[in-house]
Amino acid sequence: MALEPAAGPPRGRTLVRHIGLLLSGDLARPVLDADALLVEDGRIAAIGRGAELKDRGPLDAVIDCHGSAVAPGLVDSHVHPVIGDWTPRQNQIGWVESCLNGGVTTMISAGEVHLPGRPRDIVGLKALAITAQRAFANARPAGVKLLAGAPVLEKGMVESDFAELAAAGVTLLGEVGLGSVKAGYEAREMVAWARKHGIQSTIHTGGPSIPGSGLIDKDTVLEADADIIGHINGGHTALPEGHVCELCERSTRAIEIVHNGNERVAIAAVQAARDLGALHRVILGTDSPAGSGVQPLGILRLISLLSALGGIGAAQAIALATGNTARIRALDAGLIEPGRAADLLFLDRAQHSAGRDLLESIALGDIPGIGMVMIDGAVRCGRSRNTPPAERVPELLGGS
Ligand SMILES: [Zn+2]
């Protein structure tokens, strides 16, 4: 298991040059007019033309993209980690590292619900959340930023529990509805306490995910008013399409679409959001590990699905999984902007795609090839072992 301490980012300067297409992650302006980035001490320092940026001082490294594309690292808004790079759900080791090879640089826990013997008493669930938050903050699997420590609401919790969790560093709630709190009015009170103390909430939407969980219908979602309508397309059983469209329209909260959900309803949801002028509220996740397994390419597959069958432009579909999530989750990565963490995805059209370039290949339903992934300015993997081979891959060169 590659568990690494969350040490500071590497010091030094890296020039990323000959970028053929620079995708910003910003829905409103998804393509930037630039061909180079300067990375300094793990952060994006400048965006511009390689000819100018190379003269800003000595370089420790150069990455030549050879005309391939750069995008922000992908954010998976909905995962269920337990500890380290092991998942008991499918008894699999190395699943996070596999997702890194699918371009994911940040994951957000929707609850550590698969822990064998998960405590459901209040002191126990708080202890688990704090332990998970600490463990993943202290040791990043394969370098991936895994924001965890997401307690599941149980009956009997009072406001001081949320204050105590927040003071201990907990910033997320696990999916509302996976514990004993399932009624809208009960959830609403606890979600409001969480929000008051700076803890962001997500609600399970749709039918039960596994035996033992329950149905959360549209009226419960609206009443609970969690910050994120978790897997609006079901996890996996979805609400009727009309109810999903009604949620997009009547709620102002984030609309989360997941890979391990109903694909037909995923398309209906993204189109409803688009027609409402609310694409900025859409974020993507896998909801893995799950009964459907772990999908290292889940976010890429979802981007291609929403682009090819949902009619969302490929560059905008990438923004749903990067800049949108960054803004809604208050991350310091997810956008190509000076000052942001240098979490970068280097990608290109997969070899022999029918699409003539990267964006057309995605719009035709293919998934791109990944040539390199960087987190906080450090190269975490070269050519992905999981995607189809990219046509062009970046090359890491020495400095000057
Ligand atoms: Zn769920």
Q: List pLDDT tens digits, range 75-92.
A: 999 999 999 999 999 999
User: How distant, in Å, are the alpha carbons of 61, 206, 214, 305, 328 from that of 234?
Assistant: 45, 5, 12, 16, 20
Q: How far apart are CA 216 and CA 186, in angstroms?
A: 13
Ligand 1 centre to CA of 362 (Å) is: 27
Position 212 scores a pLDDT of: 72
Distance 170 CA to ligand 1 centre (A): 20
**209 C-alpha to center of ligand 1: Å?**
6
The residue with tokens 């905008």 is: 316
**Residue 41 · residue 7 · CB < 8 Å:** no
| Residue 280 near residue 273, CB atoms below 8 Å | no
Note the Cα 80 to chain centre separation in Å: 12
Show the tokens assigned to 47.
Answer: 């965006």
How many whole angstroms from 84 Cα to the centroid of ligand 1?
A: 21
CA of 266 to the centre of ligand 1 (A): 15
Amino acid, single-letter form, for residue 397: L
Do residues 42 and 316 lie in contact, with contact meaning Cβ atoms separated by under 8 Å?
A: no
pLDDT of residue 1: 45
Assess whether the previous peptide bond of 10 is cis (omega < 30° from 0): no
Residue that has been written with the tokens 């209040």 in this structure: 122
CA 217 – ligand 1 centroid, Å: 12
Q: Are 109 and 147 in contact (CB under 8 A)?
A: yes
Q: What is the pLDDT of residue 320?
A: 98
- Would you state the pLDDT for residue 2? 52
> Can you list the residues of the chain whose pLDDT is less than 50?
1
User: Could you give the residue ranges of the DSSP H alpha helices within 197-297?
Assistant: 218-224, 241-250, 263-275
**Residue 111 region, left (φ>0) first, then alpha (ψ -120 to 50), else beta?**
left
Contact yes or no for 204/179 (Cβ under 8 A): no
Q: Kindly state the helix (H) or strand (E) to which residue 314 belongs, with its residue range.
A: helix 314-320
245 with 271: CB under 8 angstroms?
no
Q: Which strands, in side-by-side order, build the sheet including 282-285?
A: 202-203, 228-229, 254-258, 282-285
List all residues 6 or more positions away from 330 whose beta carbon is below 8 Å from its beta carbon: none
pLDDT at 214: 83
Listed residue (247, 381, 246, 267) closest to 394, CA to CA: 381
Ligand 1 center to 205 CA (angstroms) = 7
Q: Which helix (H) or strand (E) holds 47?
A: strand 43-48
pTM above 0.85, yes or no: yes
Q: Is 323 helix (H, G, I), strand (E, B) or coil?
A: helix
Domains and CATH numbers, the chain: 3-72+335-398 (2.30.40.10), 74-296 (3.20.20.140)
Q: Which of 316, 274, 306 is closest to 24 using CA atoms?
A: 316
User: Are the C-beta atoms of residues 134 and 126 closer than 8 Å to each other?
Assistant: no
| 101 contacts 385 by C-beta, under 8 angstroms | yes
Rounded distance from Cα 182 to ligand 1 centre (Å): 12
Residue 42 CA to ligand 1 center (angstroms) comes to 34
Condensed to tens digits (0 to 9), the pLDDT of residues 344-366 reads: 999 999 999 999 999 999 999 99
CA–centroid distance, residue 124 to ligand 1 (Å): 21
What is the pLDDT, as a whole number, of residue 400?
A: 67
Q: Which residues contact 44 (CB under 8 A, 6 or more apart)?
A: 37, 38, 336, 337, 338, 339, 340, 341, 342
To which residue do tokens 């037909």 refer? 264
Distance 341 CA to ligand 1 centre (A): 29
- Residue 135 tokens read as 């463990």
